[in-house]
Amino acid sequence: MPNSTITFIGAGNMASSIIGGLIAKGVSPNSITASDPYQPSREQLQQATGVNISDDNHRAIAGADILVLAVKPQMMKVVLEDLADAVQQLKPLIISIAAGIEINSMNQWLGGGQAIVRCMPNTPALVQTGATGLYANDAVDSAQRQQADTVLSAVGSVLWVEREDQLDAVTAVSGSGPAYFFMFMESMQTAALELGLSADAARELTLQTALGAAKMAIDSDVDTAELRRRVSSPGGTTVEALAVFEQRDLAGIVHEAMTACRDRSAQLARELDAG
């Protein structure tokens, strides 16, 4: 992607993180433009990265090869309908990181015939350890898929899905997943306090253990079930804790929660499309 120019519509936290990741991977700030109506956001991004900034979407997209849509979902229709004529002339690759807006809606608002990749990033992208699900419509060619892969991999790992509705499942796993782990860590810290540890000790031990467990799972050549078995000696301390989780049906609770998340994601997409 050395000769591509990229325009971001929106300069919020996620857009800023992707821009920072791209620059860290060698993309020139001169090839990136960010447009945002909020002056402090524009100025902060320019000071941090040196990219071009604008308060005019039309000026910002002039000559763009890649257009990253990082606006609030409720604003997407207005923004795209305003840019439709210009986009029809440019025919850039369009990458949307706006939650819930389906490709057919974006394509319609832009007048049709657009190459669009819809993405579901998660908040760890803010610290370059994100996980992003991507789906491309039929107008996206192999070179453009690689461009989208390069843009989103700047902030973590990427995974392509075969159907757009699978992004609702991605939302249930990685999109909302950080909150699940935060809640579990919060509960561990609370329990540690009640077991007599200091707040500092509870926090350090919990967070470092979470980090270490994730790294072991990533680096291991076996699945998480086997890793769990390896640290669960019969008659030992760990099996006592795991037995409580099993008695309370932790697996069932997780399944029910993630299903509710997926269903809500699909519902929000319908509501945004109707709006």
**In whole angstroms, what is the distance from residue 70 CA to residue 62 CA?**
17
Residue at 96 is within a domain: yes
Q: pLDDT tens digits for 211-224?
A: 999 999 999 999 99
Let me know whether 184 and 159 are in one domain.
Answer: no
Q: Using a pLDDT cut of 90, give the percent of the chain over it.
A: 95
Let me know whether 185 and 106 are in one domain.
Answer: no
Q: What is the overall mean pLDDT for the chain?
A: 96
The DSSP string of 156-171 is EEEEE-SSTTHHHHHI
- Identify the CA nearest to 98 among candidates 178, 45, 167, 157: 167
- Identify the CA nearest to 10 among candidates 43, 39, 37: 37
Let me know whether 60 and 141 are in one domain.
Answer: yes
Q: What is the pLDDT confidence band of residue 269, given thresholds at 50, 70 and 90?
A: confident
Which pLDDT value is given to residue 33?
A: 98
Q: Which residue has the tokens 């057919």?
A: 104
Beta sheet of 6-9, edge-to-edge order: 52-54, 32-35, 6-9, 66-69, 93-96, 115-120, 130-136, 156-160
Q: pLDDT tens digits for 146-155?
A: 999 999 999 9
**In whole angstroms, what is the distance from residue 136 CA to residue 56 CA?**
27
Here the CATH number for the domain that contains residue 239 is 1.10.3730.10
Here the CATH number for the domain that contains residue 139 is 3.40.50.720
**In whole angstroms, what is the distance from residue 22 CA to residue 152 CA?**
9
State the alpha helices, DSSP H only, in the chain.
13-24, 39-49, 57-61, 76-90, 103-109, 142-153, 166-170, 177-194, 199-219, 224-230, 237-247, 250-274
Which pLDDT value is given to residue 2?
A: 67
Mean pLDDT of 76-97: 97
Residue 1 pLDDT exceeds 80: no
Let me know whether 125 and 27 are in one domain.
Answer: yes
Q: Establish how many alpha carbons lie within 13 A of residue 104's alpha carbon, considering only the half-sphere containing its beta carbon.
A: 8
What is the extent of the structural domain holding 247?
A: 177-265
Let me know whether 39 and 11 are in one domain.
Answer: yes
Q: What is the pLDDT confidence band of residue 270, given thresholds at 50, 70 and 90?
A: confident
Let me know whether 159 and 88 are in one domain.
Answer: yes
Let me know whether 10 and 54 are in one domain.
Answer: yes
Residue at 170 is within a domain: no
Which pLDDT value is given to residue 271?
A: 87
Let me know whether 90 and 147 are in one domain.
Answer: yes
This prediction's pTM: 0.92
Mean pLDDT of 242-249: 98
Which pLDDT value is given to residue 196?
A: 98
Q: How many domains does the chain have?
A: 2
Residue 226 pLDDT exceeds 70: yes
